[in-house]
Amino acid sequence: MKLWDPRVLPYKKVTTQKTTTLNINPPTVLFLGFILLITLGSLLLKLPIATHSEISWLQSIFTATSAVTVTGLAVVDTGTHFTLFGQMIIALLIQTGGLSFMTFAIVAALSLGARLGIGQQIIAQEAFNQTSLEKVAYTAKYVLIYSLFIELTGFLLLAAIWLNDLDFSKAVYHAFFYTISAFNNAGFALHSNSLMSFAGNLPINIVITTLFIIGGIGFLVLIDLKTQKSWHKLSVNTKIVLISTLIINFCAFVLIWILEIHNPATLGPLSPGDQASAAWFQAVTPRTAGFNTLAIEELTNATTTLIILLMFIGGGSLSTASGLKLGTFVVLIMATYTFLRRRDEVVILQRTIPQSQVMKALALTTVSIIMIFIGIFFLTVLEKAPFIDIVFEVVSALSTVGLSRGLTTQLSTGGEIIIIFLMIVGRVGPLTFAYFLATPKKKHIKYAHADIQVG
């Protein structure tokens, strides 16, 4: 018996094709995206035309990681070891890593007329640390526009300043490289001593610090300032970032000047004007620019401890800076204050902070501290160096700052791998990395309360 008779029903061939969907969560996409950039950068930096003398694969990977994560730690000198081609590759990696590859991908897709699906929006939301999906495309475009405008302004100013001392081509190239490095809070320098040669050069100090402060306060703040143009209309997030940046920078400036004014290896020999300039630069660079105009290894232990705290705090969310982030730090402080005053809600600038945001800030801080402890533990096992140098190196790597007390160039193979790992985690974000290892799942079961003694 035939199962089908062509005289009874028209035949229509039906083909079934099994389709498989690659289900990857947003943190995984972000993490793998940075790994891909680092891999590509490592291959390019390993090319013979990228260096004056051959470097190892690990040195190539370390440099590419430091550039993509906009850290600035270097195992080989950028200005003397890499050719013009190699330095341009580093600058490109800094720009891509600083503005995030997601920004470029979204802007490129939109320019071709594509619309973001919900999956892409969620990934972008994770990259931009947004609480809403509505303004992802808008934010991505303005991140790129603002960045190019600010960098162009910084480039023209630095080129004009350096034309007084350098020939045209060298002045233009220095302005190009330092603008990208400064705005993206990378800390890569063409000079072996970073910017110590310009400690007394006020115009360079002003332009460089302005670039990395603007890059570090966050693009949401810049967009808010552009659209609102009035203090009372600004969002609470913008006000928090601006106020805390002003307070932290001023306090750090005063403290470093006081702590180093009699140090013969740092501020001591300088004139009062140069002391102020150098103290200001060293106060704002730890969050998280990575340049230095003073010898970091010569700073007093008190100043070093202060800088470790500044590196840990970091800059604003959705910025070229990393670290714990200003918003997180402020929420933690206010949550502690709220508990001590026996209040029920965390209030900042007459606005209540949701419990979920407080829990996120606590989780981020806890994961960051755990990562720091792990890094310190393994480096103390692998390296023979003063403990304060190890702590400084670990916090600098995780916060993608790039400052070092001289340990970076002395790291063993294992030590370099640990720092590479910390730089990647610091750039994608400790929480994002935690999500990458374990995709969060909500539980719908509620349990009875338990009283646990805390404190």
Long-range contacts of 330-335 (CB under 8 A, 24+ apart): 330/240, 330/244, 331/357, 331/358, 331/361, 332/361, 332/362, 332/365, 335/361, 335/362
Domain ranges across the chain: 26-437
Q: Which residues contact 20 (CB under 8 A, 6 or more apart)?
A: none
Measured from the Cβ of residue 390, the count of other Cβ atoms closer than 10 Å reads: 22
Strand 346-348 with 351-353, pairing: antiparallel
The helix-helix angle for 101-111 and 136-162 (nearest 10°) equals 110
Q: Among the residues of 22-167, which ranges form H helices?
A: 26-45, 57-68, 78-81, 84-99, 101-111, 118-128, 136-162
Q: Give yes or no for a contact between 299 and 307, defined as CB atoms under 8 angstroms apart.
A: yes
In 3D space, the residue among 176, 89, 184 whose CA is nearest the CA of residue 146 turns out to be: 184
**pLDDT tens for the chain, residues 1 to 455:** 444 444 444 444 444 444 444 455 666 777 788 899 999 999 999 999 999 999 999 999 999 999 999 999 999 999 999 999 999 999 999 999 888 666 766 665 555 565 656 666 666 655 555 555 556 667 777 888 888 999 999 999 999 999 998 999 999 999 999 999 999 999 999 999 999 999 989 999 999 999 999 998 988 888 889 888 888 899 999 999 999 999 999 999 999 999 999 999 999 999 999 999 999 999 999 988 899 999 999 999 999 999 999 999 998 887 888 888 999 999 999 999 999 999 989 999 989 999 988 998 998 899 999 999 999 999 999 999 999 999 999 999 999 999 999 999 999 999 999 999 999 998 887 767 766 666 656 667 777 877 776 66
C-alpha neighbours within 13 Å on the C-beta side of residue 57: 3
| Total residues belonging to the chain | 455
Q: pTM to 2 decimals?
A: 0.87
Q: Which residue has the tokens 């500044």?
A: 310
Phi, psi of 144 (to 5 degrees): -70, -45
Q: Which residues contact 76 (CB under 8 A, 6 or more apart)?
A: 55, 59, 63, 82, 409
38-76 tens-digit pLDDT: 999 999 999 999 999 999 999 999 999 999 999 999 999
SS3 category, 274:
helix
